Amino acid sequence: MGPPRSDRFFALAALILIAVVWIVSALRTQADLMPVVGQTVPEADHIDKLDSDLYTAWADAAESEFFARIAIGSADGYGGPLRAAVAVDPIGTVVGIAIADDKETSAWMERVLGSDLLSSLTGKRYDDDFILGRDVDGVTGATYTAHALASATAAGSRKAAVAFDLPIKEPDPPRIVFGVPEIVLILLFAIGFVGHQSRFPYTKQARWVSMITGLIVLGFLYNSPVTLAYITKLVLGYWPQWQTNLYWYFLIGGILFVFTVDNKNPYCQWCCPFGAAQDCMGAIGGAKSRSPIRFRRLLIWMQRLLTLTAILLGVWFRNPGVASYELFGTLFELLGSSVQFAALGLVLVAALFIKRPWCNYLCPIRPVTDLIRLTRQTVKERWQKATLKTPAV
Partner 1 sequence: MAESDTQNSGRLTDWIILIFVLVVMGLLIADLGSNLEGELDRGNRPAGTTSANAEYPDSSAHLP
| Piece of 162-170, 206-214, 255-263, 355-363 that binds partner 1 (CB under 8 A) | 355-363
Given the rule CB under 8 A, which of 120-128, 129-137, 157-165, 188-196 is the region that contacts partner 1?
120-128
Choosing from 343, 352, 372, 374, the residue that interacts with partner 1 (CB under 8 A) is 343
In 3D space, the residue among 95, 91, 136 whose CA is nearest the CA of residue 112 turns out to be 136
Round to whole Å and give the CA distance between 230 and 80.
10
Taking Cα atoms as reference points, which of 72, 77, 189 lies closest to residue 142?
77
**Shortest distance in whole angstroms from residue 154 CB to partner 1:** 15
* Distance from C-alpha of 305 to C-alpha of 313, rounded to nearest angstrom: 12
Q: Least separation, in Å, of the C-beta of 303 and partner 1? A: 8
Indicate whether 347 belongs to the interface with partner 1 (CB under 8 A). Answer: yes
278 lines the binding site for partner 1 (CB under 8 A): no
What's the CA gap between 87 and 101, in Å, rounded? 16
- Binding residue for partner 1 (CB under 8 A) from 4, 15, 106, 133? 106
Cβ density class 277-314: b for 16+ within 10 Å, e for less = bbbbbbeeeebeeeeeeeeeeeebeebbebbbebbbbb
CA atoms of 136 and 128, how far apart (whole Å): 10
Q: Which residues, at least 6 apart from 222, have a Cβ–Cβ distance to it below 8 Å?
A: 180, 181
Q: Which is nearer to partner 1, 271 or 347 (CB)?
A: 347
Residue of 11, 146, 258, 354 that binds partner 1 (CB under 8 A): 354
CA–CA distance, 56 with 200 (Å, rounded to integer): 67
Q: Does 199 bind partner 1 (CB under 8 A)?
A: no
Q: Which of 103, 129, 132 is nearest to 115 (CA)?
A: 132
Taking the complex as a whole, the smallest distance from the CB of residue 76 to partner 1 amounts, in Å, to 18
The answer to whether residue 310 forms part of the interface with partner 1 (CB under 8 A) is yes
Binders in 35-74 for partner 1, by CB under 8 A: 35-36, 38-43
Q: Does the protein bind partner 1 through residue 337 (CB under 8 A)? A: yes
Output the smallest distance, CB 271 to partner 1, in A: 24
**122 lies in the binding site for partner 1 (CB under 8 A):** yes
Is residue 256 close enough to count as binding partner 1 by CB under 8 A?
no
